Amino acid sequence: MTDQATGRTVGGPRSIPQQRRSMTLNRRLAVLPAMLASVLLASSLLGPTAGASGSGSAAAATLDPRLPVHPLLQVGAQVEPDKTVRVIVQKQHPSNSSQAIAAAAGAQVKEEFGFIKSLVLEVPQRAVLALAHNPNVRYISPDGPVQRTIDASQLKTTYPQDVNAPSVWNSGSTSTQATGSGVTVAVLDTGFNEDLPDFDNAAVQCLNVNVRTTSCSDADGHGTAVSGIIRGRDTQGRYIGVAPNSRILSIQVLGSNGSGAETDVVRGLQWVFDNRATYNIKIVNLSLVGSVAESYLTAPISGALEQLWLNGVVVVAAAGNYGSASAATWYEPGNDPFVISVGALDDNGTATPTDDSLASFSSRGLTQDGIYKPEIVAPGRRMVSTLTGLGSTLATLFPSWIVDTNYVRLAGTSLAAPVVSGVAALVLQYPGQADGAGEVNALNALRTAATGVLGLANQGLAVNSTINSMTNTVVGGQTYWNQTYWNQTYWNQTYWNQTYWNQTYCNCSTEMAVSSRSHAEPILGRGRNHVPAPPWDRD
Please identify, among 422, 455, 475, the residue that sits at the C-terminal boundary of a domain: 475
242 & 128 share domain? no
Is residue 176 included in any domain, yes or no?
Answer: yes
Residue range(s) defining the domain that contains residue 127: 47-143
Given 90, 115, 143, the domain boundary residue is 143
CA dist 328 and 321 (Å) reads: 8
First vs last C-alpha separation in the chain: 38
Residues 6+ apart with CB under 8 A from 52: 80, 82, 83, 84
Same domain, 239 and 332: yes
Exactly one of 259, 414, 465, 518 is catalytic; name it.
Answer: 414
In 3D, which of 84, 8, 5 has the Cα closest to residue 46? 84
Choosing from 118, 141, 198, 222, the catalytic residue is: 222
The secondary structure of 246-273 as a DSSP string is SEEEEEE-S-TTSEEEHHHHHHHHHHHH
Number of domains in the chain: 2
Residues 442 and 302 occupy one common structural domain: yes
Q: What is the mean pLDDT of the chain?
A: 68
* Within-domain flag for 345: yes
**Max CA distance (Å), the chain:** 71
Final residue belonging to a domain, choices 109, 143, 177: 143
Residue 33, helix vs strand vs coil: helix
167 and 139 in a single domain? The answer is no
- Both 111 and 153 in a single domain? no
Among candidate residues 143, 151, 189, 218, the one labeled active-site is: 189
Q: Where are the beta strands (DSSP E) in 166-220?
A: 184-189, 204-208
Condensed to tens digits (0 to 9), the pLDDT of residues 490-538 reads 223 322 222 222 232 222 222 222 221 122 211 112 223 444 433 333 3
Question: Has residue 529 been placed in a domain?
Answer: no
23: in domain: no
**What CATH code is carried by the domain that includes residue 370?**
3.40.50.200
Whether 201 is in a domain gets the answer: yes
Pair (164, 82) in one structural domain:
no
Runs of H (alpha helix) within 132-261 = 159-162, 165-169, 222-231
Calpha distance 94→98 (Å, rounded): 9
Assess whether 188 and 62 both reside in one domain: no
Together in a domain, 97 and 168: no
User: For this structure, is 133 an active site residue?
Assistant: no
- Domain-located, residue 12: no
Quick one: which of 186, 204, 206 has its CA closest to 283? Answer: 186
Closest by Cα among 306, 302, 218 to 256: 218
Residues 133 and 151 in one domain: no
189 given a catalytic annotation: yes
My answer on whether 325 and 353 are in the same domain is yes
Q: Which CATH number belongs to the domain containing residue 62 in this structure?
A: 3.30.70.80
Q: How many helical (H) and strand (E) elements, i.e. helices and strands, does the chain have? A: 17, 23
Residue 453, in any domain of the structure: yes
Per-residue model confidence as pLDDT tens digits over 421-473: 998 888 788 655 444 444 444 444 444 433 333 343 444 343 333 333 334 34
Residue 121 sits in the same domain as residue 167: no
In angstroms, what CA-CA distances link 13 with 100, 210, 310, 458, 483? 23, 29, 13, 32, 21
**Active site annotation includes 143:** no
3-state secondary structure of 427: helix
Asked whether residue 100 falls in the same domain as residue 193, the answer is: no
User: 91-133, pLDDT tens digit by residue?
Assistant: 989 899 898 998 888 888 888 888 888 899 888 888 888 898 9
Identity of residue 412: G
pLDDT tens for the 539 residues of the chain, in order: 333 333 333 333 343 333 333 333 334 433 343 343 333 333 333 443 344 445 555 556 677 778 888 877 888 888 888 888 889 899 989 899 898 998 888 888 888 888 888 899 888 888 888 898 999 999 888 887 665 443 323 224 577 766 767 777 776 666 667 788 889 999 999 888 888 888 876 567 878 777 677 677 888 899 999 999 999 888 777 888 888 889 999 998 888 777 788 888 999 999 999 999 999 999 999 999 887 888 888 888 888 998 898 888 889 999 988 887 878 888 889 888 888 888 888 877 776 666 777 788 888 888 888 887 887 888 888 889 999 888 888 888 888 888 888 899 888 899 999 988 998 888 788 655 444 444 444 444 444 433 333 343 444 343 333 333 334 343 333 322 222 222 222 223 322 222 222 232 222 222 222 221 122 211 112 223 444 433 333 33
In a domain, 121, yes or no: yes
Provide the pLDDT for residue 18. Answer: 31
